[in-house]
Amino acid sequence: MVTAKFIQQLGAIVGAEDVISHPEDLLVYEYDGSVDRSMPGAVVFPTCTEEVSRVLALAHREGVPVVGRGSGTGLSGGAIAPEGGIQIAFTKMNHILEVDTENRTATIEPGVVNLDLDNYVRKFGMRYAPDPSSQKACSLGGNIAENAGGPHCLAYGTTTNHVLGMEVVLEDGTVMNLGGPTRETPGYDLRGVFVGSEGTFGVATKIMVRLLPLPEMVKTFLGIFPDIDTACTAVSAIIGHGIVPAALEMIDALSIKAVQSVTDAGYPADAGAVLLVELEGLKEEVEDVTKEVESALWDTGARDVRIAEDPADREKLWVGRKTAFGAFGTIAPNYYLVDGVVPRTRLAQVMRKVSEVSEKYRITIANVFHAGDGNLHPCMLFDEREPGVSERAAQAAQELMEYCVGVGGTLSGEHGIGLEKKEYMPLVFNEADLDQMRKVRDAFAPSNRMNPGKIFPDGVSYHAGSHRAAPGMYI
């Protein structure tokens, strides 16, 4: 329980000015990018590992649950405070501590914003590859918690493929190191287990990531299709040619209209769907593959294929993709997002199901997603003031999740399970599976005080609220 004495003790650790507990100040911390709400008893802003350790040790002694919070862009309720709990916000732990150009690594604190790291290392001729669409705002600590993906993770892998080592603090304040400066270390891969644990194991306070050299050439294609079926066919055709683009994104007709209403991204307003395909690598390699990508797009029914080689043109196309969800505010004031994964060969089939669900529940659904790895993001658009519409959105989401699993897919590609999908876990895992996962969690956090109530089904049904679409929303 968060008492006045407990808050004073927190202030003694980090300074009274770095603890907030008044309800009016806590309002902005009662939600993240998801649909649920819960106000924390207090929010603490540490500035170093020692302070994080002392805060967690105090909370452990007092039986107070804790959740780490980065930028609050998560989409499954991962940063929502547990009842009677506090948040540790890493806003002030936002320093790039070291860049090793020779070994191509960077050591950072968890509050560093993803895009800030990428921009910083580019002046050394390197980049940080994982690029969630929220990269302008999301922090690396949160990326680790959710094993965040992004458009360019099709070729380069998700966060776990780029984290070499971490300094982490466990629920009782114990500080330990996982992984190290090399790609491979002996013993169990505890670094890999920690990444994607959604804050239930502990919190990372220092992170070492690997960096990649900047590509010699980049080409971005815009394939324009009459409908989403032919665009889905093109996705399989490109991969079927043995080509793994750096990114392969799809945007449907409704999303195109929303984007073009707020910014000119160069998407034809009358297109049924567009594909963004990006190639990176050596000049000769990219030029060789260019012809194959063009052929695959034309052969599967593209009505036009455009190539952006100029950085400004490429940026224009990507701005359209990454601001699509904010543009949905021109269609409806609220949205509820589903994050599911299906085999690429089932994309067209699943998109037809999305249309059926839209009609069945009388919910407008827009689609912008990572087509290359089958990671779908059906986005239900509605006005929560309409009686019963939030419930219909939740029912639609459940049916889509069940369908994704039924065709050989799974529950989440990059947003995590959190609160949103915990009751769906038995669709994918049996009780023995879940029990082994709990045992792994208990090895790190035996008291279950780190972000409790997430991931595992507990019979508390999840009721969807809604997002209010705004220009600052990125997914």
Which CATH number do you get for residue 379? 3.30.70.2740
Q: Which of 296, 322, 348 is the last residue of a domain?
A: 322
Give the domain CATH number at 205.
3.30.465.10
Residues 52 and 125 in one domain: no
Task: Please report the pLDDT score of residue 468 as a whole number.
Answer: 44
- pLDDT > 70 in the chain, percent: 97
Helical H segments across 206-277, by residue range: 228-240, 253-262
Structure-block tokens of residue 248: 């392969």
**pTM of the model as a whole:** 0.93
Question: 474 lies in a domain?
Answer: no
DSSP 272-338: SEEEEEEEEE-HHHHHHHHHHHHHHHHHTT-SEEEEE-SHHHHHHHHHHHHTHHHHGGGT-SEEEE-
Q: How far apart are CA 394 and CA 305, in angstroms?
A: 37
Residues 283 and 301 in one domain: yes
Q: How far apart are CA 368 and CA 388, in angstroms?
A: 25
Which region, left, alpha or beta, applies to residue 173 given φ > 0 means left and ψ of -120 to 50 means alpha? Answer: left
Strand ordering across the sheet containing 467-468: 304-308, 217-225, 273-281, 247-252, 364-369, 378-382, 334-337, 467-468
Residue whose C-alpha is closest to residue 45's, from 96, 97, 107, 111: 111
Residues 165 and 251 in one domain: no
In order of 21, 163, 182, the CA distances from 105 in angstroms are 38, 9, 10
**The pLDDT of residue 475 is above 80:** no
The stretch 340-366 carries a mean pLDDT of 96
Q: Which amino acid is at 141?
A: G
Q: How many domains does the chain have?
A: 4
Residues 71 and 144 in one domain: no
Residues 130 and 186 in one domain: yes
Structure-block tokens of residue 293: 């990508």
pLDDT in tens, 219-255: 999 999 999 999 999 999 999 989 999 999 999 999 9
SS3 198: coil
Number of residues in the chain = 475
Which pLDDT band, with edges at 50, 70 and 90, does 396 fall under? very high
Task: Please report the pLDDT score of residue 460 as a whole number.
Answer: 64
Residues 295 and 333 in one domain: no
Residues 81 and 110 in one domain: no
Residues 139 and 34 in one domain: no
